[in-house]
Amino acid sequence: MAVIVKAEAFLVNLEVEQTRVDAVQAFLAQETLFVEVSTDDGAVGLGYSYTIGTGGSAVLALLKDHLLPRLVGKDARLIEGLWRDLFASTRATTVGAITSLALAAVDTALWDLRCLRAGEPLWRVAGGFRPRVPLYDTEGGWLHLTTDELVVGAKASVDAGWGGIKVKVGKPTAHEDLERLAAVREAIGPRVDLMVDANQSMTAAEAIRRAAAFAPVNLFWFEEPLPADDVSGHRRLAESTTIPIAVGESMYSISQFRDYLERGAASIVQVDVARIGGITPWLKVAHLAESFNVEVCPHFLMELHVSLTAAIPNGRYVEHIPQLRAITTAEMTIDTGHAVAPETPGLGIAWDRNAMDDRRVA
């Protein structure tokens, strides 16, 4: 056995690495939740989760007051059983963001332990499909940037050999969005994938109208055009356009993904390991998508998602938004347009504990 003798949680605040604005919000800070699990054989696993600026203290309270005490004395190897027990113990608050984010911090710590004990990196333990995954850039495509700034960023990504570029949309008029997209498409040429993200800012009618307006720039996907709970609206949009519809970053349960896939409302799955509740449910969503012949391009958290996307056969892209450099001693490896999964045992993230302590708030 590997009996859990201690489970602790703490909160670290991270400043954003650059200004990030989309159609509905500004990304001003990242509240990063950590869970450290120790076992009787001396092994220690470190997992994490995050919020964009708010709610971190609520997640931390759920961890400290309810979830972590249930772990002590349990076998850390029984990840499925532990996940289900913690989920069931918070039935009054599931399915929901606070519980999923808390579960993710625990689950990633347990997977870190599993991989450390096996002496293997996460990408192999979770499936081991391939060691590297194509990369696309979001960091140069924020909504507040001028058209000229978008073009400069897009050209830099192309020069670096990256396969795709994402631009935020949701300007007051479709003409403004299209003018920006047309300039980027002209700058990158026809072979580089161009994605757009509306961050749930549109009605179904407006999304259908804008998808038609965007047709000339040959989009690779249209991301989160509508609120995440509007499955029927996404289905109507998908039926009205040849642009693939990408969803998933704002979904917190496997059943939500099942509903989208069964109804033909999603062509790209963007499951987020923190928001779905950890690696355990993330892999279930990925395999569910595979059964529908749908590819996975996870949202954010590139330092962790590179390993998970490398683990599965239907992983298409990793999203480039660096956000952990202030508390790590090494960056994710990028080589000829690909994110390379780390070979070090565990999650493969080189945490800087001193830097984390400096930014610790609770």
Crossing angle of the two packed helices 97-118 and 279-291, in degrees rounded to 10: 100
Q: Catalytic: 299?
A: yes
Among 234, 299, 305, 320, the one annotated catalytic: 299
**DSSP per-residue codes, 229-294:** T-HHHHHHHHHH-SSPEEE-TT--SHHHHHHHHHTT--SEE---HHHHTSHHHHHHHHHHHHHTT-
- How many C-beta atoms surround the C-beta of residue 29 within 10 A? 15
Residue 200 and residue 170: Cα distance in Å, rounded?
Answer: 9
Q: Using an 8 Å Cβ cutoff, are 168 and 199 in contact? A: yes
* Strand-pair category, 333-335 with 338-340: antiparallel
Using CA atoms, how far apart are residues 197 and 213, in angstroms rounded to an integer? 15
Do 270 and 297 contact (CB within 8 A), yes or no?
Answer: yes
List b or e across 214-238, with b for residues whose CB sees 16 or more CB atoms inside 10 angstroms: beebebbbbbbbbebebbebbbbbb
Catalytic residue, candidates 74, 166, 168, 338? 168
Contact status, residue 106 vs residue 68, Cβ threshold 8 Å: yes
Cis omega (within 30 of 0) for bond into 95: yes
Tally Cβ neighbours within 10 Å of residue 294.
19
The number of CA neighbours under 13 Å toward the Cβ of 124 is 12
Catalytic residue ranges:
168, 299
